[in-house]
């Protein structure tokens, strides 16, 4: 039953995504949580492209989330740009450039070296942002971000109402989801998954493995950056922790909770994480103890995550 | 500006770098040993370092004897390492190399939070033992006696570790196991017990680094996080699986941190990563690493 439902979902992932998230704000206890799930889901989606589909475990995705947040934040608060699109453009461009450069370095090593190198570079950016207080606000965070109204041809929309912002974010995230679907369905997407399964064999087939990995890294950084940019608009502040390793850890946990290498896993994981955090906060301050323990149990006993397990099927990670 | 710097201040800073380097070396050898043998990256290594410092503080309060604590605290972390290997890491052998990293990441969250609950979020201060208090006057500089002691202990432990790896039968199996585990198994040796032991030794070294660092550096629950990242940089710079590499790179990174703290404090955390990036560009396998080994 669940499997049949899952396969129906698998046939039209973008449509299903839109349907669920169109009503999502009315299903959760409060609407701010829905926006958070959407944005963190996008972040995890970007991470999942690299880890779940390409098999590269980045422990430094805070770098692109943070750069996206600072990109939008600095454009609005410091450079006073007149258009929200320019700000969001910055939250794509900055992670794209950084992702390409850092990816180039990190892909010089494989396996666990790669993970720790991504972490090291993210920490490097964190320390830089920490000390560049004139631009980033340093320890206090970047404040003074005004969310401009959206200008479309013949239309101006204010994003001040929480629901307005939610649906604005939903449009952008849906475009990203459709983009990911397009990437995965393309021959390029097939090569990504071939590299995950066996990089040597993919190379033997004549694919330029390093170049494909670098592209995947850059795409992944862009998704994460857009998510970071949206989060800067949501909070109208960029805390310096955006670049800290805890943020990288958060996206790793979310993706694995939901199911790495599955299409909806990142969103399921983000929702699970955020709702759980919300509930646990009522009972105890020791959230890391709870989530750390839950995460360890998942790694040990449910490595395919919630969505991956529900979806069942054979070991392959393809499909929704 | 450089001319204002007195020779004695500079010499003291160079020596501080050596002491910090010693702590890095202890952490990096444990990390490298565990990784080299079982391709497990122990993200919780920093938490074990932190636990070493806290266990030391706890034992010091209990026994009032620094020397006893210095032996017991690393031993406690050693036993904890054994438990972690047996209960948590062992089920993951044969799975993706990422899984132990993910698991120990979760573990580090739990350990840090558990320490916050037990000893509080605020840092502690640990005094050096009375016998090692005070400073030594070398003529061109004066330096805390305790730091000389740390360098001496680090050197002794490293020599002991080197002798263990090079001169004992178990050491031989460890070295063979990190080169070709399949062949070692084919020879009928039980690598599982070796992994168990090595994980414990690595943990114990981290614990020792922690209690040694206690009287020199602030002791707080998150103290291990930046240390584990910097220790991994040391391993990358030195070359994975190379004890000599870990020593040279540890001292190098210690000096880089110490000297940039002196000349340009804001750059001290950043320089570590710059050194790493340069080494990666010029020699991707690290200063003493073999290309392609254990990736």
Q: What is the pLDDT of residues B149-200, one digit of tens each?
A: 999 999 999 999 999 999 999 999 988 888 888 888 899 888 889 999 999 9
Contacts of A65 (CB under 8 A, 6+ apart): A43, A95, A224, A225, A227, A228, A231, A242, A243, A247, A251
- Give the long-range contacts of residues A21-24, CB within 8 A, separation 24 or more: A21/A170, A21/A173, A21/A174, A22/A170
Give yes or no for residue B1 having a pLDDT over 50.
no
3-state secondary structure of A319: coil
Tell me which H or E stretch contains A197.
helix A187-197
User: Is some CB atom of chain A closer than 8 A to the CB atom of B264?
Assistant: no
Q: How far apart are CA A75 and CA B294, in angstroms?
A: 44
Helix/strand/coil percentages in chain B, nearest 5: 75, 5, 20
Identify the CA nearest to A81 among candidates A68, A96, A71: A71
Encode chain A (320 residues) as per-residue pLDDT tens digits. 677 777 777 778 899 999 999 999 998 888 889 999 999 999 999 999 999 999 999 999 999 999 999 999 999 999 999 899 999 999 999 999 999 999 998 998 877 788 888 998 999 999 999 999 999 999 999 999 999 998 888 788 888 898 999 999 999 999 999 999 999 999 999 999 999 999 999 999 999 999 999 999 999 999 999 999 999 999 999 999 999 999 999 999 999 999 999 999 999 999 999 999 999 999 998 999 999 999 999 999 999 999 999 887 544 444 44
Alpha-carbon distance of A63 to A247, in angstroms, equals: 9
Rounded Cα gap, residues B222 and A6, in angstroms = 42
The rounded distance, in Å, linking the Cα atoms of A81 and A295 is 41
Residue with tokens 């990293």: B101
Q: What confidence tier does B4 reach under pLDDT thresholds 50, 70, 90?
A: low
Mutate to test the interface with B, among A120, A256, A293 (most CBs of B within 10 A): A120
Tell whether B216 lies on the interface with A, counting CB pairs under 8 A: no
- What whole-number distance in Å separates Cα of residue B121 and Cα of residue A70? 29
Q: Smallest Cβ distance to A119: which of B117, B229, B295? A: B229
Closest residue, chain B, to A287 (C-alpha)? B113
Let me know: does A216 contact A104? Beta carbons within 8 Å. Answer: no
Q: What is the pLDDT of residue B290?
A: 67
Nearest-by-CA chain A residue for B273: A124
Output the six-digit token pair for A51: 């880890």
The two three-digit tokens of residue B72, written as one number = 């017991």
b/e burial code for range A77-115 (CB count within 10 A of at least 16 → b): bbeebeebeebbbbbbbbbbebbeebbebbbebebbbbb
Mutate to test the interface with B, among A52, A58, A127 (most CBs of B within 10 A): A127
Backbone phi and psi for residue B136, each to the nearest 5 degrees, phi listed first: -110, 135
Closest among A265, A264, A274, A263 to A231, alpha carbons compared:
A274
Size of interface A-B (CB pairs under 8 A): 109
Residue B109 confidence (pLDDT) above 90? yes
pTM: 0.91
d(CA B199, CA B191): 12
CA-to-CA separations, B113 to A174, B126, B133, B230, in angstroms, rounded? 37, 21, 32, 21
* Bridge partners of residue B199, in order along the sequence: none
CB atoms < 10 A from the CB of B216, how many? Answer: 17
Closest CA to A57 of B102, B209, B239, B277: B102
CA distance readout (Å), A310 to A24, A295, A305, B212, B249: 20, 17, 8, 49, 47
Interface check for B175 against chain A (CB to CB < 8 A): the answer is: no
Confidence of residue B265 (pLDDT cuts 50, 70, 90): confident
Residues of A engaging B, defined by a Cβ cutoff of 8 Å: 57, 59, 105, 108-113, 115-117, 119-121, 123-124, 127-128, 131, 245, 249, 252-253, 256, 286, 288-289, 291-293, 295-296, 299-300, 303
What's the rounded Cα separation, in Å, for the pair A13 and B267? 47
The model's confidence at residue B5, banded by pLDDT at 50, 70 and 90, is: low
Q: How far apart are CA A206 and CA A121, in angstroms?
A: 30
Task: Give the separation between CA A127 and CA A121, rounded to whole angstroms.
Answer: 10
Instruction: Give the closest residue to B227 by CA, choosing from B271, B284, B269.
Output: B269
SS3 A145: coil
Q: Which residues of A touch B118 (CB under 8 A)?
A: none
Dist. CA A275–CA A235, nearest whole Å? 18
The answer to whether A271 and A36 are in contact (CB under 8 A) is no
The number of beta carbons lying within 10 Å of the beta carbon of residue A287 is: 15
Cα B136 to Cα B169: distance, rounded to the nearest angstrom: 41
């Amino acid at each position: 039953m669940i499997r049949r439902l899952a396969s129906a979902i698998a046939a039209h992932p973008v449509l299903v995504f839109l349907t669920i998230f169109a009503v999502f704000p009315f299903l959760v206890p409060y609407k701010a949580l829905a926006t958070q799930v959407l944005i963190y889901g996008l972040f995890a989606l970007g991470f999942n492209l690299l880890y779940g589909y390409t098999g590269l475990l980045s422990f430094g995705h805070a770098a692109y989330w943070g750069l996206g947040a600072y990109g939008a934040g600095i454009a609005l608060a410091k450079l006073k740009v007149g258009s929200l699109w320019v700000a969001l453009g910055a939250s794509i461009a900055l992670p794209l450039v950084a992702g390409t450069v850092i990816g180039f370095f990190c892909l010089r090593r494989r396996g666990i070296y790669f993970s720790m190198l991504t972490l090291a570079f993210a920490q490097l950016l964190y320390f830089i942002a920490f000390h560049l207080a004139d631009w980033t606000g340093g320890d206090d965070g970047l404040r003074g971000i005004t969310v401009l109204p959206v200008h479309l041809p013949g239309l101006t929309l204010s994003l001040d109402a929480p629901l307005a912002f939610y649906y604005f974010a939903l449009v952008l995230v849906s475009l990203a989801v459709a983009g990911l679907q397009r990437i995965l369905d393309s021959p390029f997407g097939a090569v990504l998954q071939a590299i995950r399964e066996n990089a040597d064999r993919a190379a033997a087939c004549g694919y330029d493995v390093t170049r494909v990995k670098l592209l995947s890294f850059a795409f992944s950084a862009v998704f994460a950056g857009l998510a970071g940019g949206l989060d800067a608009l949501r909070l109208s502040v960029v805390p310096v922790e955006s670049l800290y390793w805890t943020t990288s850890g958060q996206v790793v946990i979310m993706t694995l909770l939901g199911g790495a290498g599955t299409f909806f896993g990142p969103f399921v994981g983000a929702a699970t994480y955020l709702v759980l955090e919300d509930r646990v906060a009522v009972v105890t301050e020791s959230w890391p103890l709870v989530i750390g323990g839950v995460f360890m149990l998942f790694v040990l006993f449910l490595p395919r995550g919630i969505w991956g397990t529900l979806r069942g099927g054979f070991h392959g990670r393809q499909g929704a | 500006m450089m001319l204002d710097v007195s020779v004695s201040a500079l010499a003291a800073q160079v020596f501080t770098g050596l002491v910090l380097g010693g702590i890095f070396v202890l952490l990096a050898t444990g990390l490298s040993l565990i990784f080299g043998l079982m391709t497990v990256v122990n993200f919780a290594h920093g938490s074990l370092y932190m636990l070493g410092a806290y266990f030391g503080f706890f034992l010091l309060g209990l026994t009032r004897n620094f020397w006893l604590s210095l032996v017991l605290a690393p031993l406690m972390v050693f036993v904890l390492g054994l438990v972690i290997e047996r209960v948590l890491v062992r089920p993951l052998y044969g799975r993706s190399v990422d899984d132990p990293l993910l698991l120990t990441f979760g573990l580090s969250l739990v350990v840090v939070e558990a320490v916050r609950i037990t000893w509080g979020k605020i840092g502690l201060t640990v005094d050096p033992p009375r016998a090692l208090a005070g400073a030594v006057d070398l003529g061109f500089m004066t330096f805390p006696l305790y730091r000389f002691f740390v360098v001496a202990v680090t050197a002794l432990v490293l020599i002991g570790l080197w002798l263990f790896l090079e001169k004992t039968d178990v050491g031989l199996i460890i070295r063979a196991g990190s080169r070709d585990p399949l062949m070692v198994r084919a020879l009928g040796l039980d690598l599982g017990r070796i992994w168990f032991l090595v994980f414990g030794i690595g943990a114990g070294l981290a614990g020792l680094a922690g209690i040694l660092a206690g009287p020199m550096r602030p002791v707080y629950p998150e103290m291990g996080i930046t240390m584990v990242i910097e220790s991994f940089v040391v391993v990358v710079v030195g070359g994975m699986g190379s004890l000599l590499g870990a020593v040279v790179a540890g001292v190098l990174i210690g000096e880089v941190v110490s000297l940039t703290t002196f000349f340009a404090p804001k750059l001290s955390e950043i320089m570590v990563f710059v050194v790493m990036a340069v080494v990666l560009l010029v020699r991707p396998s690290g200063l003493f690493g073999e290309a392609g080994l254990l990736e």
